[in-house]
Each structure stands twice: as structure tokens, then as C-alpha cells.
Chains A and B, each alone.
Chain A
Amino acid sequence: MKSHVWRPLYIVVGVVALVLLARTILVPEDFGIGERGYMYGWHRKGNEADWKAVKVKYKTMDFCKECHQDKYNDLRHSPHAAIQCENCHGPALGHPDDPPTLTIDRHRDLCIRCHARLPYNGSGRGAIRGINPETHHPEAECVLCHYPHNPKLEAKR
């Protein structure tokens, strides 16, 4: 065959070789078909570990009660028992080693998440004691009068 047939063929072979070379360099070694098969499991295996390594920020009440037993006991016997400390105080993050990472939020916006009265019958919201935040002392923080760790002890403050 004449050279004008071979010359473009060399180029094609060269391009294919280049693509294959680039693939071996760029595609990670653990990339392949996972346990869920080709359709759903085609991925880089190492990414599963990447996601597992994300830092836990919310450490739950079990972590808080190790030091703050008094507050935990107050809370445990109150109607607020099911509310996690971190819902209001923010995630423990680096606390207690790094105190500034724990924020304390006393804003009434936290309380009215549940206690703004919405009389919805299809939801537990209708059964929660609530106020109208626009008329119920709009200028004050709720914690001035109500003790959030046990709202039943209203005389505590």
C-alpha cells in the first residue's frame, strides 16, 4: 500500500496510544465497578472513605452530660427533655478544648420555632402551647422569664 494510506493511520494509532497513556495516569487505581454492579457501582472506591472521614460536629446529649450533669438533670425531667443541647447551643465542635467554637444563642427565634402558635390539626404542632410572637413581649428574650432547661419551673428566674 502507498504511504498516503499509512501516514494518517500512524496518527490515529498515535492518538489512541496517547489517550490510553493519559487514562492510566489520570484515572485513579481504585476506580472500577463496586459491589452494586456496573450501573450503580461505577466509582472510585476511595471516595467512600473520604465521606466517612467527614468531621462529626453534633456530638449529642450523651457527650454534653459528661460535664454538665446539673443542666442535663434539669432538662431530663422537663417537657423539653427530648431537645438536644446542641439544638440551641450549637454543635459541640471543638468544645471544650476550644471554647469560642461553642456559641450560645439566647434569641427568641429559637423558642418560636415550636412555640409560635400554629393550630394545625394534621401535625403535633397544634398541641404545643404557643404564643403570637408579634404580640407576646416582642422586645424581650424568652429566657428573661422562662427557664429553658425546665420551663415548668417558671419561678426560677
Chain B
Amino acid sequence: MTTETVEAPRSARVSRRSTNWEKWAWLYMRGSGVLLIVLIFGHLFTNLIADEGGVKAVDFAFVAGKWASPFWQIWDTLMLWLALIHGSNGMRTIVNDYVSNSTLRRIMLVALLASSIVLIVLGTLVIYTFDPCPSGALQSQLPSFCPAQ
């Protein structure tokens, strides 16, 4: 009877040097979630509750009045970026869970990424290129600080 010596496995240890993106995505959902609670509850309060007319007070002049202050511009920019990335990452999780066809899954993930980039760029441009007093508009639809045309 011979004793067999089993060599220690010589396979290299799997490198864990690469960034753990799933961990950062997981952390992002929690961090952005906390910030979004403050941002969105503040947004709902100012736009649906604080003003006497609630949502009926919201129009072009109402938003122009808010965006006259950098405070609300930054508020809305943060909300846009944090919420859309939070939402599309959540949708990514759901797609990964339920779409078993790998081609379809890839198409849906690319569509999610593309639509998120387009909407973040669009929304950011809208906030920072906004003109509160566009020419050719009815005076009654403009904020009160616009000069008479």
C-alpha cells in the first residue's frame, strides 16, 4: 500500500485588486437614498404644499421665480443627478433579476444607460441655460421681475 501525496493546488489566487463596482453601487443606493429623502421631501413641500394653490400654483413664472436663486438651481441639479442614477441603477437590478435572455438584457441595460445620460445632460442644460424672460412670450406668463416688452 502506497501513500499518495496530494500536491497543494497551484492555481493562482484570484486577484481582488479590481474595483468592486457592485459594492459601490450598493453603497450609492443607500447614500443617495438618504440625500434624496431630504431633497424630494423639500421639493414636494415647496411645490405641492407650501403655496396656497398647491400644484395649481405651479407654472412657468413659479419655476422662474425659484430658479432665480442658485439655491434651487443646485437643489434641482442634485435631485436630477442623484434620483436618475438611483432610479436607473434600481432598474438595472430589476432587469438583471428578471431578464434571462442575455441579448435582451444587454439591450435593456444599454437603453437604460443611454436614456439616463441623455436625460441628465438635457435636464442639466435646461436648469443652467434657462431664460426666465424669453422674448415673444405673454407678459402674464412671465415672472413679475421681467421688464415689460
Do chains A and B interact in one complex? no
A-side residues, CB < 8 A to B, are none
B residues sitting closer than 8 Å to A (CB atoms) are none
